[in-house]
Structure 1
């Protein structure tokens, strides 16, 4: 695609608009979307961002130990070879501040800041059927019109705090890992509670333990983890990677999850426990996702195969935790390995060997209330703290989109349409909402992949659709009801063939009371999903309608 003059407002739509496209969010998705639409297609674009800086997830998540679980050489944009060659993270897994610095560098490098409006929360967006445009409203009272709206709002951007009785009564300091203060937080000499043991807690707990005089972790469900084996990357490895840009880019785009990992040909079910142990030990010592996303594929489909993986990992926990009772609490129970998010950890289990760190099971004895001095369990046990850290996760995948009052054809709200679960085509569009794109939305690989790979694929697909609309002379594009129905059904069928639905996870919406229990991401894997999207485009955009007038009956 070649750049054209950027002053194209309203030319194709036949009506005046403020900008051609409004992008909601200035994380990895929004920053790249702005570059593609403005610098490559020549459109006028405005990015609206709630925070006062770029970064998205990495702007908000500043808790102690916040770090990416994807290796640094693939947790970055691959669209520009020179950018990829020149930027270098300091270690194997980039920390939050480095990732934020990287996105800031990209925004400066491609002159993006001038079209990003910070401190602006989008509250609503309404489609005008008469002229095929969107009106976007903000909390500041602004109203902007555009032909296209791209929701680059992220998948884990709406934090979840359980509604404990008395939650506002605590007199000490409270924090949520998903919305950490942009100032130093100190725990020296303090009695600290951490509620939750998910991905953010697993990173934060070892760091908080280094400062706190006493740390008590309240765990509802133990999770499987894998060692990160974090540290500097050897120079010889760096040089080899720099020389293989094209190969790395191709392999991660064709892979299962956006990494240079591939599953073993022989399954765990047809291997002995000893063979499985030997295979997994190598990957365990290497660190990273090699056991989860580069081990045995049949672990996702059969309990027999999965049990062998669990046996290996559970033995590692018992080896690393000194107290047998604590170790048993940390051993996951009641669900298969790999169907919950598998975080990477650094010294997590060893932290519970420290005398001032305590683990409390709140599955058998739930938290009954937050009190002015701490919290109380159901059996009446009271704990006193100076600080409470809520590491209680997010209302994932759907809430970032439904928290905005999107209204499509006939004034129908997206939240209403998704009341029983998301309804999308490719996780990219929803029928009845023309020219609205959801980057890495529900029912796309998104959170089951290296996000930067999936983000680039979606952003490039959206920019291709918009460019092809110009060639067609089209004003609107949207998914058909039939294509959407088929994709929703396909998404669930693929998930139900696996062990994923057997666990109560945020992949299933199970962490949010009242949220429909449907599988939210897509399990086709990154490479096959990309190939499917390419096939759809090459076949004349199967499942999409350009310039269509779709009746209320079709989208009801």
Structure 2
């Protein structure tokens, strides 16, 4: 898991122990980046990544042409956006379905379905009779939807303050895991925390950190723990400083999960992930645990 984490974050390892689609994509992108900090030209890096991105998407579009026999259908299935505008897929076995005589692709030209009737789906003014409709609604944007709404409940902290009130304008945490004024309350999410393609890996790192805090507090004879106000403020400032959301890139993508359906500027920077990258974030947590002094935390009986 550590090997995969480093490789898919642009780092180097002696051997690729997983060797899947994720490591292939990131290896191609990482290979074009300069290794020495003094050699880094942001414009040159951006241009090189644009070329690498285009080549990968051309591979995908060529694959559609190679599998789907009808040119019009193939043209409608080709993605024309940059690679990480959408969640990457590594299986294209579904493409051959469009060669079946009983399958028709309805291209809505980006407008989507406009009406659902008792026995039909309407798109571009045409009603298509159906026996069954399968909804594939995808994911909910956790950066846009408030945490308490996604959790399905609110949390009440000291002095009756609700988490929904404190985070009305965006999350405020320490290390993405605790929030001042809410003792013994731990959050596991991507907000102000590490973001990586392997979500279970990051959840595992968060779990180890929480377990360390709980064990250390209990060993010290305390039963209550939470971050100081100053520690939380400093972490939020770090999140703002390192925020690396590429708004221009997001706005160039077709509407979807990652760009708030085409409106990325409405997303709060405070709800973004740790901008230094997941490898750096894990290192921050591990160094904090190694110090062993429970710095920036308040404890009580």
Shorter chain as denominator, the TM-score bin is 0.7 to 0.9
Please tell me whether the aligned partners of residues 256 and 525 of structure 1 are also in contact (alpha carbons under 8 angstroms): no
Among 156, 161, 166, the alignment partner of 1:407 is 156
**Residue in 2 that maps onto 1:460:** 208
Please tell me whether the aligned partners of residues 430 and 484 of structure 1 are also in contact (alpha carbons under 8 angstroms): no
Q: Distance in 2 between matches of 1:436 and 1:405?
A: 12
**Residue in 2 that maps onto 1:382:** 127
**Larger relative contact order (Cα-Cα within 8 Å, sequence gap ≥ 6):** 1
Please tell me whether the aligned partners of residues 263 and 295 of structure 1 are also in contact (alpha carbons under 8 angstroms): no
**Residue in 1 that maps onto 2:73:** 326
**Residue in 1 that maps onto 2:40:** none
Q: Distance in 1 between matches of 2:131 and 2:86?
A: 32
**Residue in 1 that maps onto 2:54:** 307
Please tell me whether the aligned partners of residues 176 and 191 of structure 2 are also in contact (alpha carbons under 8 angstroms): yes
Greater fraction of residues in strand: 1
Among 292, 297, 301, the alignment partner of 1:545 is 297
CA-to-aligned-CA distance 1:258-310 (integer Å, 9 cap, x gap): 8xx9669xxxxxxxxxxxxxxxxxxxxx8532333332136994433322332
**Residue in 2 that maps onto 1:531:** 283
**Residue in 2 that maps onto 1:486:** 237
The 3 A distance-change label for structure 1 pair 497 and 392 is: closer
Q: Distance in 2 between matches of 1:343 and 1:430?
A: 35
Among 181, 199, 205, the alignment partner of 1:432 is 181
Residues 89-488 of structure 1: pairs in structure 2 closer than 5 A: 250-252=2-4, 255-257=6-8, 288-297=21-30, 301=46, 302-333=49-80, 335-377=81-123, 379-397=124-142, 399=145, 401-403=147-149, 404-446=153-195, 448-474=196-222, 475-478=224-227, 480-488=231-239
Please tell me whether the aligned partners of residues 181 and 226 of structure 2 are also in contact (alpha carbons under 8 angstroms): no
Q: Distance in 2 between matches of 1:360 and 1:322?
A: 16
The 3 A distance-change label for structure 1 pair 526 and 420 is: same
Among 231, 241, 245, the alignment partner of 1:495 is 245
Please tell me whether the aligned partners of residues 406 and 413 of structure 1 are also in contact (alpha carbons under 8 angstroms): yes
Q: Name the SS of the counterpart of 1:375 in structure 2.
A: strand
Q: Distance in 1 between matches of 2:214 and 2:122?
A: 55
Shift of 1:363: 4.3
CA-to-aligned-CA distance 1:501-554 (integer Å, 9 cap, x gap): 753442344389997365744454443221111123344445x32138xxxxxx
Greater fraction of residues in helix: 2
**Residue in 1 that maps onto 2:41:** none
CA-to-aligned-CA distance 1:72-130 (integer Å, 9 cap, x gap): xxxxxxxxxxxxxxxxxxxxxxxxxxxxxxxxxxxxxxxxxxxxxxxxxxxxxxxxxxx
Shift of 1:463: 0.3
Q: Name the SS of the counterpart of 1:444 in structure 2.
A: coil
Q: Name the SS of the counterpart of 1:296 in structure 2.
A: helix
CA-to-aligned-CA distance 1:427-451 (integer Å, 9 cap, x gap): 32233333211224423335x3222
Q: Distance in 2 between matches of 1:290 and 1:489?
A: 29
**Residue in 1 that maps onto 2:38:** none
The 3 A distance-change label for structure 1 pair 384 and 433 is: farther
Please report the TM-score for the alignment, with normalisation by the length of structure 2.
0.74
Q: Distance in 1 between matches of 2:86 and 2:12?
A: 18
Please report the TM-score for the alignment, with normalisation by the length of structure 1.
0.43
**Residue in 2 that maps onto 1:77:** none
Shift of 1:250: 4.6
Shift of 1:491: 4.8
The 3 A distance-change label for structure 1 pair 303 and 513 is: closer
Structure 2: state its 5+ residue gaps. Answer: 14-18, 34-44
Q: Distance in 2 between matches of 1:371 and 1:517?
A: 37
